[in-house]
Structure 1
């Protein structure tokens, strides 16, 4: 479903750059979806590339999406319910950023707005202007990424925000802030659960799991495996993305799991030569 503004046709796309975003893998993910399924669940929502693709194809698809990052979940709800005020707030950010990008960026980074609109516009502004579009918080939950080197960042991106707002409000999407294990209560036989968690590090230095201030540990991976097994026993379709790491391969090496190795680029790496030539895993039980 595309939406028309003037002469521009806009397909809704992720409104945040997110570590491990799936935009470049959409065609591969589509090829690996079951032919039919009930409700679609995505408990590590992130940028929501697969969700938007799915709703563009069929806006009647029932979806229950969630994430543990409360600022991100708030952003989805704010875009759905209050997009006009959000766009006005972003235009203010854009105006002040253009006057003095450095001092304005760091003043916004230090700020802690209380209102929902301002919280979301701060998140989107920082995401558009920070180094590498990286969302990262420290152990105290404070956003700590430096200013990026952009000549003219697309801070407002109005057409896409309106398109996202339209598709979220016109479709059967429930947005929740919760831990991934909560999906077990809701998912029924025939539903599809897609897990795209923070990836297990493949090397000692590759540990990028701090998109919330609670790191995704090996114990969390184990919890995820146990959850996948329970969902399989319930008769759910389970699809999982993860890094090509020994731990993941060992865990999912037995039936009913099928492991596909797929080629993927890393959009977030400070060294651009290290963004290509990676493999990741797509694991499913159907």
Structure 2
């Protein structure tokens, strides 16, 4: 079975894990993803319902706009994907426009325009980086790619696959509290860093701490006791293996780009998938 690709570039996207996740995730009434990201998992799994959340408001806004408006939103994004906008000068002008409405939820900002700019910035930033400073300002630099791919086909696939989905801006705790027996939960949190220099988790202001990982593991155990299977992916490290003690553990090797935003090296790393089976 072929793999549908997301329309957004996303750090740690799960397209490569989809074949294994198809085997590990059991059937159920609803799939809940508290860390939906670009949506690689829900795009490739068939559940009657999907409840999809993330703490990144701009991400959820883009998903909601594409889901609700389809072709009209695709055309709005296409207008930004023109050669004259693939320059550092124009990129930073559009980034400044995006940041001028950094809090659109309490202003007169146009959410339609902001969502389209988010798609533009994602595809034109370096390595598709999504990064904010402590004030919530998008600060990923220009990517300097000669040609920019416009993900029209991927956006149309997303529109079709999202007909049975609900997208919500929410913390993982809020999403997991909604799980009921016969639901299935898949969690793809910001990974525990492999080293002290690879701790980038600022795809949303605030980051994701070790304490958050501990809370997530506790929620997974509690839900399993209530009849909900929870699957979590992460880097394989001794600390992570200890964190998920008692779960069914699967290890997979995946290629990753490791290093700074300007100097990245391809290498194979081990990822761990922990399955907390419903009791």
Q: Verify same fold: TM over 0.5.
A: yes
Residue number in structure 2 paired with 1:83 = 70
Residue number in structure 2 paired with 1:179 = 171
| Counterpart Cα distance in 1 of 2:139 and 2:262 | 19
| Counterpart Cα distance in 1 of 2:276 and 2:86 | 52
How far residue 268 of structure 1 moved from its aligned partner, in angstroms, is: 6.8
How far residue 87 of structure 1 moved from its aligned partner, in angstroms, is: 2.4
Residue number in structure 1 paired with 2:50 = 63
How far residue 12 of structure 1 moved from its aligned partner, in angstroms, is: 4.8
Determine if the alignment matches structure 1 residue 27 to structure 2 residue 19: yes
Superposition TM-score, scaled by structure 2 size: 0.89
State the secondary structure of the residue aligned to 1:282: strand
Residue number in structure 2 paired with 1:264 = 254
| Counterpart Cα distance in 2 of 1:13 and 1:186 | 28
Kept after mapping to 2: 8 A contact 1:265/1:277: yes
Q: CA RMSD in A?
A: 2.1
Kept after mapping to 2: 8 A contact 1:43/1:179: yes
How far residue 146 of structure 1 moved from its aligned partner, in angstroms, is: 1.0
Residue number in structure 1 paired with 2:104 = none
Where does structure 1 lack aligned partners over 5 or more consecutive residues?
3-10
| Counterpart Cα distance in 1 of 2:32 and 2:257 | 25
1:92-103 aligned within 5 A: 92-95=79-82, 97-98=83-84, 101-103=87-89
Q: Give a deviation string over 1:210-262, Cα, whole Å, max 9, x none.
A: 11011100111111111111111111011000111232111112x2x112111
1:201-220 aligned within 5 A: 201-220=193-212
| Counterpart Cα distance in 2 of 1:135 and 1:70 | 12
Q: 1:140 aligns with which of 135, 142, 159?
A: 135
State the secondary structure of the residue aligned to 2:112: helix
How far residue 277 of structure 1 moved from its aligned partner, in angstroms, is: 1.3
Q: Give a deviation string over 1:70-111, Cα, whole Å, max 9, x none.
A: 11111111001123332232232123x426612110101111
How far residue 267 of structure 1 moved from its aligned partner, in angstroms, is: 5.0
Determine if the alignment matches structure 1 residue 127 to structure 2 residue 122: yes
Kept after mapping to 1: 8 A contact 2:258/2:267: no
Superposition TM-score, scaled by structure 1 size: 0.87
Where does structure 2 lack aligned partners over 5 or more consecutive residues?
102-108
Q: 2:274 aligns with which of 271, 283, 286?
A: 283
How far residue 16 of structure 1 moved from its aligned partner, in angstroms, is: 0.9
| Counterpart Cα distance in 1 of 2:249 and 2:187 | 14
Residue number in structure 2 paired with 1:161 = 155
Q: 1:46 aligns with which of 37, 48, 54?
A: 37
How many aligned residue pairs are there? 267
| Counterpart Cα distance in 2 of 1:94 and 1:39 | 35
| Counterpart Cα distance in 2 of 1:91 and 1:47 | 18
Residue number in structure 1 paired with 2:147 = 152
